Structure 1
Amino acid sequence: MENGKKIFFIIAVSLQIATFVQAQDLHFSQFFNAPLTINPANTGFIPDADYRLGASYRNQYSSILAAPYKTVSIFGDAQVLRNQIENGWLGLGGFILSDVAGSGGLRSTKVYGSIAYHQMLASSSLLTAGFNLGWANKRIDQSKLKFPDQFDGKFFDSNTPTDVVLVNNNVSYFDIQVGLNYAYFPNENVYINGGYSIHHVNRPQETFFSDNADSSKLSMRHIGFINALLKVNDRVILNPNAYYTTQAKSSEIVIGLNANYNLSGAGGATQLLAGLYYRGGDAIIPMVGFEVKFVRFTFSYDATTSSLRNYNNLQGASEFNIIRKGYYGDSNGDSRQVICPKF
C-alpha cells in the first residue's frame, strides 16, 4: 500500500471511531447464529430443541489495522411452561455482547435479558411476540485517538493539541427492543419463518461529545428477516436466509443459502454444512461447518467487494460460531408442537 493511501485510510478510520454515535450497531455476518441479537421474539423460538447455548467471535480488519475490531457474543435461551400453557409457551433467555473497535480503544459492553410468548394459531402456524431489556456501556481512551489536526504532513503527533474534545469518555444507558415472529410449517419438509423487530425503542442518549439529550439520542434500528428449512431428501436440507436492517442513514442487506448434508444416516447425528452469502455492496461471505450430536460449529469469511478491497486485499472479517442444542430430561422432540425438517 502506498504511503498516501495509508495516511488517508488511517484518517478515515480515526474519524469513524471518534464519531461512532450514529453508526450501525454491532452485527455478525452469521446473523442467523445470533438469534437474540436480531429479534427478542427469537427467545425460545427453537423448532428443533428445548434449549440452546451459543457463542460467536468476529475479527475484522486484521489485515490493515494493528488493533482490529473484535466482537464476542454469548447467548442462551429455553422454552418454559410448555405443559402449563395450552398451545403455547414462554421463552426466556439473554445475551452478552462485547466489542473492541480499533486502536482508539472504543469498548462496548451490552447485557440483555429477553422474554417472548409463543402461541400456536393452528396446527401449522405460530405467532410470537417478545421484548428485551438491557444495559449498555461504551467507553473510549481519547489519548489513543489521532485526529487530522494532529497530522504534520508525515506523521501524527499525539503531543499536538487537537480541537476535538470529548465531554464524556464513558457512557451507560438502559435499552429496550421489541419484536414479532411468524412461522408456517405445513408439513415435515417445509418450515418458513419471518420476523420484524425495533431496537432502541426508548431512544437512549449515547454520545462522547455533548450532554445535549436532543442531539445525542440513539436512532431506532429496524430489522426484518425471513428464512426457510426445505428438506430435499434424507441427505440434504436447504436453508435460505435474507436479512435487512436500517438505522439512521445506514442500511444493510444480506442474502444467502446454507445446505446441510447428512453424513450419518437416520437421526442426522453428524452433518456437514456449507453456505454462501452476499452483503449488498460490501462482501461475499462463504461459510463452512459441521454438526456432531447437537453441537454445531461454523466458520465464515467476509471477502470484501467494496472499494475497501483496494486497501485490505479482499481480507474483511473472519467469524466463528458454536451452538449447542438439547432437550429436557428424556424428551426427544417427538411431542413437539412445532415441526421442522430434520434427518
Structure 2
Amino acid sequence: MRKMDSMKNYLLAAVMLLASMITRAQDHQYSQFFNSPVYLNPALNGQFEGDLRINMIYRNQWSSLPGTLRYMTASIDYNVPQFGGGIGLMFTRANEGTAYYLRNNLAGIYSYSVGGDNYVLSFGLQAGIGNRSIDRSKLVFGDQLDPRLGYIPGSTSAADLGALSNRYYFDSGAGINLVAGNFMAGGALQHINRPNESFSGSPQKMPMRATGHLSYRMDLNPYDNMDDDEKSYFIPSVVYYKQGTSSSVSAGAQYKRRSVNAGLWYRSGGQAGPSSFVLSFIFDLPINREGHEKLRFGLSHDAPTSKLNYSNTSGSSEGSLGYETTLPSRNTPSKFQGAKRCYDFY
C-alpha cells in the first residue's frame, strides 16, 4: 500500500514538474529573422517599398528528436505612405511535444515613423489574442506501463490532470527602430502585460521577451556609378534575445549581390537550447521592378555545436516565402523620399 501511495506521489510530482516546464516555455526564435521582420520587431511593420507585403516562415527544429518542434509565422502588412508606417496582421503557431502542446497568437499591428533625409525613426504597437492548449490524452504515465510489455493501449491513468487544457489571453507588444545612414538599430518588447498562461488554478505570468538588433550596411562598390540593385553589400548584424532567465545572441553577416543573399551566423543557445552555426540563402525574384513587385524565397539550416549536437538532433531547417507589390490605385508618394529604410538592409 505504501508502495502504491509512493508511486502516486511520484506521478503527481512528475505531472507538476511537466506543467511547470510547459508554463515557462520560451518563445521560439527564427534564424531568418530578416525574413520575418514583423515577428522580430513590430516597428518594422509597413517599412518596405511597395504597398502590400506578405511573409511566411516555417521552422522544423531538431527533427530527429522524439516529439514535434515546429513553428510557423504568417504576416501581412500594408504600407501607408502618409505617415511612413502601416497596419498589419500576424499569426504565429507553435507545435511542441508529443502531447500536442499548441500555442497560437493572432495580433494586429500599427506603426508610425518620423524623420527626414538623414534618419527614419519608427514606432510599432501590437495587440492580439493568444491561445495555448494541450491534448492530455496523449500523455503517458507510469500506471499505464507494464514492466514487460511497455505501454498498454487503451489504458487510463489514475493521475489527477485537472480539467483545464485550453487557455485564451490578451497579449501586447511594442517596438522602436532607427535607420541613420548605413546603421540600423531597434528593440522590441513582447508580452508587456504579462498574461496568465497557467493550466492550473495558480497564476503563471508569461515572461516578457526583449529583442535588440543592430545592423550595418557596407557598400562594396561605393565609387561605381551603379543602381542599388546592381551593387554588392556586406551586412553584419547582431540580434539579442532575452526572456525570463534565458538569453541568446545571434551574430553574423550577409553578402548581398543583386538578387542573391548568402549569410553565415553563430547563435549562442544559453538556456534556450544548444549553440549553433547557421547558413542561409535568400533569393529575390523581381517580377516588376517599377511596381516594386517581387517574390522572395529563403532557406537556412542550423548545425548545433554543443552537447546536443548534430548527430543527436539532425539540426534545424527553415523555409521562408515573401511577396511584395504595389497596388494600381496608389498615387501617394512616400513620406521619406530618398532616405534609407530598414528594407535596404535585407
| TM-score range normalised by the length of the shorter chain | 0.7 to 0.9
2:215 maps to 1:227: yes
The 1:69–1:17 alpha-carbon spacing in structure 2 relative to 1, beyond 3 Å, is farther
Point out where structure 2 has 5 or more consecutive residues left out of the alignment: 1-13, 222-229, 270-274, 287-293
Structure 1 residues 128 and 289: alpha-carbon distance in aligned structure 2, compared to 1, 3 A threshold: closer
Q: Quick check: 1:52–1:323 contact (8 Å CA) kept in 2? A: yes
Distance 1:81 1:20 in 2: 42
Q: State the partner residue of 2:318.
A: 319
The residue correspondences of 1:194-273 to structure 2 (distance < 5 A) are: 194-208=185-199, 210-213=200-203, 216-233=204-221, 234-262=230-258, 271-273=259-261
Alignment partner of 1:287 out of 276, 280, 283: 280
Residue of structure 1 in register with 2:56 after alignment: 55
Cα distance in 1 for residues equivalent to 2:160 and 2:303: 34
Contact 2:121–2:178 under 8 Å retained in 1: yes
- Deviation, 1:336, is 3.0
1:36, 1:94 within 8 Å by CA — same for their partners in 2? no
**CA–CA separation in structure 2 for the residues paired with 1:230 and 1:325:** 25
| Contact 2:119-2:178 within 8 A present in 1 as well | yes
Name structure 1 gaps, 5 residues minimum: 1-11, 83-87, 186-190, 263-270
| Shift, 1:44, TM fit | 1.3
In 2, the alpha carbon distance for the partners of 1:306 and 1:164 equals 37
TM-score (norm 2): 0.79
- Cross-structure match for 1:85: none
Superposed displacement of residue 192, structure 1: 1.8
In angstroms, what is the RMSD of aligned CA positions? 2.9
Which structure is larger by alpha-carbon Rg, 1 or 2?
2
Aligned counterparts of 2:18 and 2:219: Cα–Cα separation in 1 = 44
Q: Structure 1 residues 258, 49: CA separation in 2 closer, same or farther (over 3 Å shift)? A: farther
Instruction: Quote the Cα distance in structure 2 between the aligned partners of 1:222 and 1:140.
Output: 26
* Equivalent position amino acid for 1:252 in 2: S
TM-score, scaled to structure 1: 0.80
Match of 2:169 in 1: 173
Q: Is the contact between residue 85 and residue 122 of structure 2 (CA under 8 Å) also seen in structure 1? A: no
SS at match of 1:19: helix
* Corresponding pairs, count: 305
The code of the aligned residue for 1:316 comes to G
Give the conservation status (yes or no) of the 8 Å contact 2:112–2:123.
Answer: yes
Q: Is the 8 A contact 2:119 2:340 kept in 1?
A: no
Residues 198 and 89 of structure 1: is their aligned pair in 2 closer, same or farther, counting only changes over 3 Å? same
Q: Is the 8 A contact 1:17 1:101 kept in 2?
A: no
Q: Which residue of 2 aligns with 1:72?
A: 72
